[in-house]
A and B are shown apart, each in its own frame.
Chain A
Amino acid sequence: MTGLGALLASDYPADLATGMVVNFRIAGVALAFGLALGVPFTLMYLGGRVARRIVAPMVGLMRAAPTFVVMFFLLNIIPKPWTLFGVDLTLPPSMIVALSLVPYAAAYIADNGRAAILGLRAGSQAEALLFLPNLIRAYVVLVMSSSAGVAIGVNEGVAVVLREAERQSTLGEQMVVFAVGVFAFGAVFQVGFAIVRLLMRSLSRRKKAGTAG
């Protein structure tokens, strides 16, 4: 039986950390693309009625698209290699995962960006600044969601957990492996949300001070 001590002394923690770096990277790329797409959507939301009528269904569609299916869709429709300006490119699976998260990220940024700008227009700088903790929240959610990449062979955190679990022979041993994985992802999740809460609290104090002033 593999005990927790033996597991922590093995390569598992280091491999898990290496795998989770891939999750962070995927989430970073998805967020960057999400911003690139979401910011114009925000501006269109705040534009005229025509622009709003164009962007609203698009954002609705992006919100409704299940990331996991989008990932398989992209994996199977993007030619390998594909040509951009005469250069042959092959997208690695991790990039496919990042692209599959872009609809969610872009829709989230469009919604929150709109709320932030409306807040700013209403004279509340603090409400506009809420965009920042929401950005961190989106990043944390993207880190968790990027684990879907395990299904297409991306060597990320959950892939490491599942690989280690397959090596164990009993459910009890597997549960120890899973628990370490959940703890690692949980730490990211909880730290991320702790930062969000801190920022929110600080902004809320600022808002109150502004109102009082």
Chain B
Amino acid sequence: MKQVLRAALTALAVLCLGVLSAAAADDTDSPDRALADLLAGARAKIPTQCDSPDAGTLVQVLCSGTLRVGVRGNYPLFSTRVAETEERIGYDTDVGRAIAAKLGVEPEWIYVRAATRISTLAEGGADVVIATMGHNTRRDGEARFIRPHYYSSETIIVGPRDLEIANWDDVRERRVCSTIGNYANSHLVTQGVRLMLFEDAARLPEALNENVCVLAAHDDSFMAYYLGEPAFGDRFERKFGFDQVPWGMAVAQTGTDDFALALELISEIMHRDGEFLALARENGIFTSFLENQQVLWQSPACATVAALTDPACVLPALDATPPATRFAPEVENSVAWMKDNIGFAPELPMLTSVPAFELFMDGIVNSLILVVGALAATLAFSLIFGFFAALPFRASRVVAWGIITTLQSSPVILTLVVAAAVANTIFTYSPAVALGSAIVALGLMNGCNAGQAIGEAADSLRAEGRYGTGFSAALYWAAVRRSLTQLLSFLVNAAKGTPIASFTGAPELLSALTDITSFAAGRVTTYTMVLVFYIAVVFLVVWACERVRAKLEQREARA
């Protein structure tokens, strides 16, 4: 009996030891323990390393007792300033406060804009940026992102409740308002959406309210506030969403090893304990991502420090880098050489990525088709209108006059829209249909004016009595020759008007480059390029017209 009791006690002792040692092992791999050890190690360096330039960001933050947090100035529900004070409210600022509290320091708010979030970090203006920043592969090279991600959003299309929009098919060829630099623009462009771009996201709800935009695309996080407002929410709704992107806090790339690890451990703990979720609920933002993350980080597989690098636990950055062209390295080398040797270099996004290059080349080809087509259509319509205007019959002249007056009375852009609307009713929308309708509209508008000039020339020739009072081929061609100056000037006008076709979805150069700059840098270079291109095209048309005129005059002189 004694032996049995001894064996049982021994087994119990072994079991207890086993449990205790397992518990000890778990504790060393727990994020709480790792965070405590990391902070203790950093605090041990205070105050000796406080003035050292080699002290990392974590030590500097603990020394100063302040965590400088870069936050958005006015991003409802995430970071807004309380009127007349320096106090800020919102999910991002609450996260900043919670992190500062876990580090045992006070937060200091640094105002950042979308365009300055990363540069502020690089310049040492903030220790961490918590500013509604999507984590994509392009940004990975510019800042160190903290994972697990503290939030996630998707881009949503918002529009009037009475407008039926359910998917991409319903927004194709429609105009959608977005912001410059929005990563979702490249997706919108590839779906055949026409963009109207604004500098500031705050303009989007205003533009919807003022009916400047019918549809707008932006982060659901941003739109949530406005959709929650009764006046806005009664009129507009979320149509559909796309491009889910995780949001990351970010720190500078250098001197931040310990600091980044501390933030990662804090994020893991906050997910596991539902602190992120509670803050999100307090601020009334969407919580489905945080609910899923809490379940994930509570699971045994992700409840360890090792999980911070486990792809099964942390999300990857959104892959936003388009494939590079095969000559991208040469372009980048040339740009770098220019920067080094001249001090200035243009940004050439249209040459460095495959989708941008394809858009660019298609844009050039389509522009040339458009110009040649508009010239041919102008010539054809001027001869047709001229024929009817030159006839000595009242009925034909009245009809010609009616059409000419109507076309003259309509602004170019409106005529193009009407032509596109008719074409899209007859044919299924395609870039070719958009180009074709623009060619017809430009030809009609300029051709009718030139045709009117031919009609007036015919009248003047009749008045001179050289061709009688009736109509003949000789009179008609003499009228065409007499109105040559007007005809040529309307041909030039047609060439000048071709870029307006971009408004109705014709994929010419202006449209292509606007699409490229909506998701890439280099706006100044790009728009300078398009201006030079079109001025060169117009000069070429002017030169060609002058040559034609000279040839005709020579022929007449010989005759």
Binding site for B on A (CB under 8 A): 61, 64-70, 72-73, 76-77, 80, 144-145, 147-148, 150-153, 155, 157-159, 161-163, 165-166, 171, 174-175, 178, 181-183, 185-187, 189-190
Contacts and interface: CB of A to CB of B under 8 A. Distances in A.
Contacts of B98: none
B413 A65 contact: no
B408 to A, nearest CB: 6
B210 interface: yes
Interface in B496-526: 496-500, 502-503, 510, 514, 517, 523-524, 526
Q: From DSSP, what is the main secondary structure of chain B's interface residues?
A: helix
B207 interface: yes
Given A69-B531, A72-B514, A166-B214, A150 B422 contact: no
B352 to A, nearest CB: 19
Interface string B199-229: 1000000010011111000000000000000
B412 A64 contact: no
A58 to B, nearest CB: 12
Contacts of B500: 68, 148
Interface stretch (B241-249, B252-260, B281-289, B532-540): B532-540
A196 to B, nearest CB: 13
Contact of B405 (A61, A165, A181, A186): A186
B425 interface: yes
A61 B536 CA distance: 10
Contacts of A68: 497, 499-500, 502-503, 510
A18 B155 CA distance: 34
Q: Which of A72, A147, A148 has most B Cβ within 10 Å?
A: A72
Given A69-B531, A174-B421, A190-B405, A181 B211 contact: no
A185 B527 CA distance: 30
A151 B198 CA distance: 12
Contacts of B498: 66
B324 interface: no
Given A64-B542, A70-B531, A77-B524, A182 B409 contact: yes
A181 B408 contact: no
Contact of B210 (A64, A77, A155, A162): A155
Interface of B: 177, 196, 198-199, 207, 210-214, 405-406, 408-414, 417-418, 421-422, 425, 496-500, 502-503, 510, 514, 517, 523-524, 526-528, 530-531, 534-535, 538-539, 542
Nearest to B536: A64
Contacts of B530: 69, 72-73
A158 B414 contact: yes
B414 A153 contact: no
Contacts of B417: 158, 162, 165, 178
A162 B52 CA distance: 64
Contacts of A64: 496, 535, 538-539, 542
Given A159-B212, A174-B421, A76 B413 contact: no
A83 B499 CA distance: 31
A148 B538 contact: no
Nearest to B408: A189
A107 to B, nearest CB: 12
Contact of B496 (A66, A73, A144, A181): A66
Contact of A144 (B177, B406, B411, B531): B411
Nearest to B212: A153
- Across the A-B interface, give the 9 residue pairs with the lowest CB-CB distance, nearest first: A186-B409, A147-B411, A64-B538, A76-B523, A182-B410, A76-B527, A73-B527, A66-B496, A171-B425
B524 A181 contact: no
B212 A185 contact: no
Nearest to B509: A69
B491 to A, nearest CB: 13
A189 B531 contact: no
20 contacts: A61-B535, A66-B497, A66-B534, A67-B496, A68-B510, A69-B499, A73-B528, A73-B531, A76-B517, A145-B411, A153-B207, A158-B413, A163-B214, A165-B417, A181-B410, A183-B409, A185-B414, A186-B406, A186-B409, A190-B405
Contacts of A181: 410, 414
A66 B503 CA distance: 14
Nearest to A171: B425
A65 B535 contact: yes
A144 B538 CA distance: 21
Nearest to A181: B414
Contacts of B211: 155, 163
Contacts of A186: 405-406, 408-410
A190 B404 CA distance: 12
Contacts of A80: 199
Contacts of B414: 147, 158, 161-162, 178, 181-182, 185
A163 B174 CA distance: 12
A153 B538 contact: no
Contacts of B503: 68, 150-151
B367 to A, nearest CB: 11
Nearest to B162: A167
A69 B534 contact: yes
Nearest to A152: B196
Contact of A190 (B210, B409, B497): B409
A70 B497 CA distance: 12
B198 A66 contact: no
B553 to A, nearest CB: 21
B417 to A, nearest CB: 6
B422 A182 contact: no
A67 B406 CA distance: 23
B144 to A, nearest CB: 30
Q: Which of A68, A70, A152 has most B Cβ within 10 Å?
A: A68
Nearest to B531: A73
A158 B213 CA distance: 13
Contacts of B523: 76-77
A145 to B, nearest CB: 7
Contacts of A73: 527-528, 530-531
B421 A171 contact: yes
A66 B499 contact: yes
Contacts of B496: 64, 66-67
A162 B194 CA distance: 15
Contacts of B410: 181-182, 185-186
